[in-house]
Amino acid sequence: MQTLACPKASRLTPTLLALALALVACRPDLPIPEARPGFMTPPAGITVAFEPEAPVTAAPRVLRLHVAAEPALDEARLFLVRGEVRDSHLRQIEQDDVSKALAARFVPSRTWREDDGSVVLAPTAPLDPGETYAVASGEPKASLPFVVEPAEAAPLLVRVWPPVEATGAGLFGLYCGEMTLPEVTFEATLAPDGPLGAFGRGIAPAGAGGACLRFVGRGLAPPDGGPWVPPPVVWLPGLPWPLRLDPRPFGGVNEDVGEAIEGPLDPGALVCTAFEVPFGPGCVEVEDDRLLGRAPEAALLWGIAGEGLDVVMTTGKNERFVLKGLPAGKDITLDVTTIDLRGREQRRKFSATTLTPMPHVVLNEVMANPLGPEPDQEWVELYNDGAVEAALGELVISDIGGETVLPGIMLPPGRFAVIVNETFVPDDEIDVPPAEDAIVVRVPALGKSGLGNGGEIVRLLDMRGRILSRFPAIPKPKAGQSVARRSPDAPDGVSDSFLLAPPTPGAANTASFP
């Protein structure tokens, strides 16, 4: 176990120092502090303590609640509730007659009893910043409200693997944030009475994921199968504040965890096309500054490092992805690590030669159902995401109504082109006009008789008929609503790459994506 230094007070502002002291009691020899907070006793007689220690006006977003009562506490009637709890709510809990409205406010939690008779109540999702919650007990009948700290109080590492919906996953977890973490290795035990494991930086030793912590279980998993929760907080060397860990539990598997991790990875066969080359268990098409990839049948966690990349991503069945930021016209080597739902790892080197700089024209936004007259006010927005200008005269827009051959106009890198009908009115006082610096390209007609309003597929083709970019079939947009791409490099064939949004013709898409 690595020895960790307690942060010096001189490195903190007074506010951060006060916060750090309130968050957790520092143990310089442990990355996971041993919290022994004092108990708070509300008038009704139960006692509650936060782990890590904090005031009721600034409870941690990730925490465990230690609850005790005299003569005894009924853990089956103990809940964490969003919002205020009144006497009528406590009577419902006491009488085991909980309304649907109250049950909907219960926070998913894991509970277990300690040797001293107290009960640990561990929420299995981060609490919302600034919101009020309450510990509610039906036996004895009592409650204690508290308010959660603001979001910026301490960094939260979100668990990116395994997915929320995964069942029967092995004891491997990856937690990622926004800041680069120091190299670290330390052991921890999942609670309650779960398996021992080790934390370390990155998806694998010396692999991708400098902003991530991995957890790998060791030995034989306990026969009860969990679920088990990770520690709520860890200290890392060189950081003046603790890191909160996403509290989602591990489901647990009744098997030898070490054997599961070392077993072969079988993501399903994937045959690369004539334009592709193998990339770990997937396939990629090598371009200039990017790789256009396809994942295999199995859901996978990926870590790609090298050539300035440090990428951690997840893919579903046959999902497409884009790796951008490579040097153009160079020999490259990447370290590619994949991990499946059971924690089994595969690690390979990938070598290729990238192409010289080239244009990358994509369908970025489509307005098929304007507020104004159709097809006059319909438009398709293109964006050149490449490093050199593109000749639009070599491209065709296709939808269910027909094809539109574009005129011989050059689209510089980093610029938008709004393709409109000859009858288009830029400022009809109803629809959003194109941005002032947008390149407006008029064509005789978009499609045979306008774009379809039913959310049909729209494609961008080259003169050989090869698909360069595609918008999926999605629910019919409302009048005045466009279909937008999350970002110019968001891949086709991925559901969350697109959404219905307020239109931004000739400008970057500004809609919020989930």
What's the pLDDT tens digit per position in 418-462?
A: 999 999 999 899 999 999 999 999 999 887 777 877 767 899 999
Write down the domain spans for the chain: 31-151, 154-262, 277-353, 361-501
For residue 86, pLDDT over 60 is answered with yes
CATH architecture of residue range(s) 361-501: Sandwich (2.60)
For residue 147, pLDDT over 70 is answered with yes
Fold for the domain defined by 31-151: Immunoglobulin-like (2.60.40)
For residue 269, the model assigns a pLDDT of 63
Give 408-447 as a DSSP string.
S-EE-TT-EEEEEETT--TT-SSSPPPPTT-EEEEES-ST
For residue 402, the model assigns a pLDDT of 83
For residue 14, pLDDT over 80 is answered with no
Average pLDDT over residues 372-395: 95
The pTM score is 0.81
For residue 447, the model assigns a pLDDT of 77
For residue 45, pLDDT over 90 is answered with no
Reported as a single tens digit per residue, the pLDDT across 166-209 is 655 678 999 999 999 999 999 999 999 888 999 999 999 999 99
Mean pLDDT for the chain overall: 85
Q: How far apart are CA 79 and CA 72, in angstroms?
A: 16
For residue 268, the model assigns a pLDDT of 60
Reported as a single tens digit per residue, the pLDDT across 95-140 is 999 999 999 999 999 999 999 889 999 999 999 999 999 999 999 9
Paired with 80 in beta bridges are 135
Examine domains 277-353 and 361-501 and report if their fold is the same: yes
- For the chain, the residue count is 514
What's the pLDDT band for 296 if we cut at 50, 70, 90?
A: very high
For residue 151, pLDDT over 90 is answered with no
Domain 277-353 indexed as CATH 2.60.40.10: yes
Q: How far apart are CA 160 and CA 264, in angstroms?
A: 22
Q: What angle do CA 383, 384, 389 make, to 5 degrees?
A: 140
For residue 26, pLDDT over 50 is answered with no
What string of H, E and C letters represents the secondary structure of 204-238? CCCCCCCCEEEEEECCECCCCCCCEECCCEECCCC
Q: Which of 28-37, 143-152, 495-504 has the lowest mean pLDDT?
A: 28-37
The percentage of the chain sitting over the pLDDT mark of 70, rounded to a whole number, equals: 85
For residue 471, the model assigns a pLDDT of 87
Q: How far apart are CA 52 and CA 232, in angstroms?
A: 8
For residue 260, the model assigns a pLDDT of 39
For residue 482, pLDDT over 50 is answered with yes
Reported as a single tens digit per residue, the pLDDT across 297-342 is 889 999 999 999 999 999 988 899 999 999 999 999 999 999 998 8
Reported as a single tens digit per residue, the pLDDT across 59-75 is 999 999 999 988 788 99
What's the pLDDT band for 22 if we cut at 50, 70, 90?
A: very low
- More confident site: 495 or 478: 478
From 114, 139, 9, select the one nearest 51 (Cα to Cα): 114
